[in-house]
């Protein structure tokens, strides 16, 4: 099955005597930025969103990503390495399993609202 997810690296990197700057994603409408560190074997996700798109980026470490479209049943599986990211679309259940200790960033197109969380459980085998 062809990989419908495009794994991406930074859209722009600048290095000079001051240090380094990396533009991780360009053109993604984000309202909420999350950051975290996960242990090897930890799994995030097993849910989907009806309105929220997600840009997930690994700063360090590695992970295996599996997706299952809640409506069409389409599946995908791929690996992410440090410095790579992926856009997860609406109705795409996702499970991210970290294969080593990893620092990550997640940019979401909608802000989290506990009264209307837009999170629907769906296990991704």
Domain assignment of residue 6, yes or no: no
* Host domain of residue 106: 12-121
pLDDT per residue as tens, the chain (125 positions)? 445 898 888 888 899 898 888 888 888 889 999 999 999 999 999 999 999 999 999 999 999 999 999 999 999 999 999 999 999 999 999 999 999 999 999 999 999 999 999 999 999 98
Residues 62, 16: Cα–Cα separation, whole Å: 27
For tokens 């600048």, the residue is: 14
What global pTM score does this model have?
A: 0.89
The CATH number of whichever domain residue 87 belongs to comes to: 2.60.120.10
Strand 120-121 with 62-69, pairing: unpaired
Residues 22/85, Cβ–Cβ less than 8 Å: no
Domain assignment of residue 58, yes or no: yes
Domain assignment of residue 4, yes or no: no
């Amino acid at each position: 099955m062809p990989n419908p997810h495009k794994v991406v690296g930074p859209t722009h990197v600048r290095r000079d005597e001051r240090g380094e700057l990396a533009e991780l994603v360009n053109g993604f409408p984000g309202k909420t930025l999350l950051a975290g560190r996960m242990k090897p074997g930890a799994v995030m996700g097993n849910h989907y969103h009806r309105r929220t798109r997600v840009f997930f980026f690994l700063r360090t470490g590695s992970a295996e990503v599996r997706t299952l479209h809640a409506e069409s049943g389409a599946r995908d599986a791929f690996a992410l390495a440090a410095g790579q990211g992926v856009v997860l679309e609406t109705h795409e259940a996702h499970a991210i399993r970290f294969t080593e200790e990893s620092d990550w960033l997640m940019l979401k197109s909608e802000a989290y609202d506990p009264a209307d969380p837009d999170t629907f459980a769906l296990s991704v085998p």
